[in-house]
A and B are shown apart, each in its own frame.
Chain A
Amino acid sequence: MKYLLQRIAFYLFTAWAALTINFFIPRLIPGDPVTSLINKYQGQLSTDAIQSLYVLFGLDKNASLWSQYVDYWGQIFHGDLGLSFTFFPTPVSEILRQSLPWTIALVGITTFASFMIGTSLGVLAGWRRGSWLDGLLPVTTFLSSIPYFWLGLLAITLLAGPDSIFPSSGGYEPGLVPSWNSEFIGSAIQHSLLPAMTILISSVSGWILSMRNMMVTVASEDYITVAHAKGLPERRVMVSYAARNALLPNVSGFALALGFIVGGTLLVEIVFSYPGIGYNLFQAVGSKDYPLMQGVFLVITLSVLVANLMADIAYLLLDPRTRKEG
């Protein structure tokens, strides 16, 4: 329990650090993002509106940095992330609320699946070191060196087409209205197949490799030899003795690698024009939409922190030693 509390305290600290970075980035922007917005809406904004925009983007020259910082925290706790430039005057929080479920469904499920598949293959490759499974390693190395987004481009060229079952872009059939009926869900699944496969192929090899290396290390431990000597079935020794112990570093590795993986998967959304957070980031970058960019960064960071916490809880469940101390 103490371990878990320590982790939670650390994540709170990280969240604070991320939010503070988020606070300072727009203040480092040379020039004035609000001016560009005013130019875009020539004459449509009153002076009051302009002043409120300056306050909203934290560019109020009359307030001190500290009071801006306090105001910023107040806004965050109210879920107010400012107004988007691109979709003006839609609030950023509204845009993110629409796109977050898409990203969580796509990235969350594929990352988890890739971890499971990669770990199982790694168990086999490590256990049967020197068998044909080792031939798999160079192939997966090559696949993992391919940028996610380029693999996506390739997948679209090769597999998607006018008469293919794989749509090349979007999250669902253009005519449909998002709802919980079978037609919409079917369409959503169909649209997510290609992006999901892309993410799976490029991310799985890292797990195979790290799990294989852990298995090789664990396989020479004394308790494995003892398990063999007892005459336990091969499968039991592999799964319950070797794999269970080799899994622990891989689970903590999962937590740490998450930040990198999520960054890569966002690009897949861009290539497939998938209606998630990554695509929002792309749109925001294209039109210098700083509030939306910051909102995306904030949401991604917080989601990664939550996922990290879940990985920690999984670690607690897997490793009895961490539970004993509390």
Chain B
Amino acid sequence: MSAPATTITAVTPGGPEVAATPAKRRRLRFVANPKAATGLVVLGFFCLIAIIGPWIAPYDPSARSSDLIQAPSGKHWFGTTHLGQDIFSQVLVGTRGVMFVGLLAGIVATALSILIGVSAGFLGGAADESLSALSNVFLVIPALPLIIIVASTIPAAGDLMVALVIGLTSWAWGARVLRAQTLSLRRRDYVEAARATGESTWRIITAEIMPNLTAIIASGFVGTVIFAVMSEITLAFIGISTISEWNWGTILFWAQSQQALAQGAWWWFVPAGLAIAVLGTALSLINFGIDEFVSPRLRSSGHTKLKTKDGHSVRMRVGFTPVLGAKDAPATPVVRRKEEAA
């Protein structure tokens, strides 16, 4: 039992004191999260390409030339296709379709999920029962095969149709989460207070409930955009949506159908796939940022292993009181096994 007082002081980090952040910077806290910031920058980049892509593309994406299946070079940065089309231009021009479908489907699905989820949670009773049954059914039915079948029955499904089909089939997850959250909010004191003062139902929902659902709605929106982008590219890849409109999936469709693999033309499908992966990662990072903003516990606290002044090392963890596993000192009743035992 070597002076417990020193043990306690030793546990506090010897590093520099972290100054309390002033309250006025609260609004920027979300952007200050490195994950969210990275995601937003990358997303902004893709939005920019979506707008200016067709203007900065060096070639017409559909124009044929005599450079058939060329590897990347100074003239064609990402190489060419079997018809001599410039793949770099195709990727640039295709960004617009991908972003348009992703965002539009996201907006449609989010609007539906708010409508269905919040009303189910707030109204309760039979309305809740039937609306949650509806969203559970949509949740369990595999979405992608349904989208494929519906899209393939629509002749010449363009970007708008594809976005609507995806949006109308993928709202269920958001609705479920929003319903659960609304259920926990509707009996809170401030909502009861608003009800007691005679606020209309509509005003309670928009002014009291919705602001507290912002993070969930935002994360649901980002999640739906990820799903919509993947579904759209999949539809184009298996050749359901019109192949006259360029998007990343169309590039992959041609690469697959023209045996790009067998010809060793890796440049044909690598750029489009990487673009999808980078966009998806950026959106996921934004979502992690939102999650961590809402629940700080989830942050991966980078530096958790601390060296105390007397040479012990301690790992700080949520919910645990760090205890020094001193070898020489006799164990107190609360000392648990050392970290290495795990």
- Which residues from B are CB-within-8-Å of A153? 252, 255-256, 261, 269, 273
B-side contacts of A296, CB under 8 Å: 145
What string of 1s and 0s marks CB contacts (under 8 Å) between A301-317 and chain B? Answer: 10011001000000000
Partner of B342, one of A21, A238, A294: A238
CB distance from B67 to the nearest CB of A (A): 22
Across the interface, A216 reaches (CB within 8 A) one of B144, B288, B298, B339, namely B298
B46 is an interface residue with CB less than 8 A from chain A: no
Count: A-B pairs, CB below 8 Å:
190
Which residue of B has the minimal Cβ distance to A227?
Answer: B336
In the bound assembly, the distance between CA atoms of A279 and B279 in angstroms comes to 27
Q: How far is the CB of A122 from chain B (nearest CB, A)?
A: 13
Q: DSSP majority for the A interface?
A: helix
Whether B139 contacts A256 by the Cβ 8 Å rule is yes
B208 sits at the interface (CB 8 A): no
Assembly CA distance A221 to B297 (angstroms): 13
Distance A142 CA – B149 CA, assembled complex (angstroms): 29
Cβ–Cβ < 8 Å partners of B295 in chain A: 217
Q: Kindly state whether residue A10 has any CB partner on chain B within 8 Å.
A: yes
Q: Give the interface segment out of B54-62, B115-123, B237-245.
A: B237-245
Fill in one digit per residue for B217-244: 1 if any A CB lies within 8 Å of its CB, else 0. 0000000001100100110011110000
How many angstroms from the CA of A156 to the CA of B276 in the assembled complex?
19
Closest to A135 in B: B300
Contacts of A31 in B (CB 8 A): 155
Q: A13-B137, A217-B297, A264-B144 are in contact. Are A145 and B277 (CB under 8 A)?
A: yes
Q: Are B300 and A130 in contact (CB under 8 A)?
A: yes
Task: Give the distance in Å from the alpha carbon of A262 to the alpha carbon of B146 in the complex.
Answer: 12
Q: Are B304 and A281 in contact (CB under 8 A)?
A: no
Within 8 A of A (CB), among B54-76: none
Q: Please classify how large the interface on chain A is, using the bins under 10, 10 to 19, 20 to 34, 35 or more.
A: 35 or more
Separation of A233 and B87 alpha carbons in the complex (Å)? 58
Instruction: Give chain A residues whose Cβ lies under 8 Å from the Cβ of B155.
Output: 30-31
Contact assessment for A285 and B148 in the assembled complex, using a CB-CB cutoff below 8 Å: yes
Closest to A22 in B: B149
Residue B319 at the A interface, CB < 8 A? yes
Dominant secondary structure at the B interface? helix
**Distance from B223 Cβ to chain A, minimum over Cβ atoms (Å):** 11
Closest A residue to B151 by CB, please name it.
A285
CB distance from B135 to the nearest CB of A (A): 11
Nearest Cβ distance between residue B289 and chain A, in whole angstroms? Answer: 12
Asked, given contacts A234-B341, A260-B143, whether A220 binds B319 with beta carbons under 8 Å apart, the answer is: yes
**A263–B297 CB distance below 8 A:** no
B152 an interface residue at 8 Å Cβ cutoff? yes
Contacts known (A142-B281, A234-B341); A285 close to B239, Cβ less than 8 A: yes
A154 contacts B273, C-beta separation under 8 Å = yes
Contact in complex: B152, A285 (CB < 8 Å): yes
Cβ of B184 under 8 Å from chain A = no
Which residues of A sit under 8 angstroms from B270, Cβ to Cβ?
A: 154
B319's contact among A13, A145, A221, by CB below 8 Å, is which? Answer: A221
For B273, list chain A residues within 8 Å (CB). 146-147, 150, 153-154
Is B133's CB within 8 Å of the partner chain A?
yes
Whether the pair B146, A267 counts as a contact (CB closer than 8 A) is no
Given A145-B277, A150-B269, A229-B334, CB of A25 within 8 Å of CB of B149: yes
Docked Cα-Cα span, A224 to B320, in Å, equals 9
Distance A251 CA – B191 CA, assembled complex (angstroms): 33
Which residues of B sit under 8 angstroms from A266, Cβ to Cβ? 144-145
Asked if B309 is at the interface of the complex by the 8 Å CB criterion, the answer is no
Also in contact, A14 and B136, with CB within 8 A (given A146-B280, A293-B149):
yes
6 closest A-B pairs by beta carbon, nearest first, are A263-B144, A145-B280, A220-B319, A130-B304, A234-B342, A150-B273
Interface contacts beyond A13-B137, A213-B298, A288-B152: sample of 10 additional A-B pairs, CB < 8 Å, sorted by A: A17-B137, A129-B317, A147-B230, A147-B276, A153-B255, A219-B319, A220-B319, A238-B342, A285-B148, A305-B140
A-B contact pairs, 21 of them (CB 8 A): A10-B133, A21-B146, A26-B153, A130-B304, A134-B302, A145-B226, A145-B278, A145-B279, A146-B273, A147-B237, A150-B252, A157-B261, A168-B261, A233-B337, A234-B341, A259-B140, A262-B144, A267-B238, A286-B239, A297-B149, A305-B140
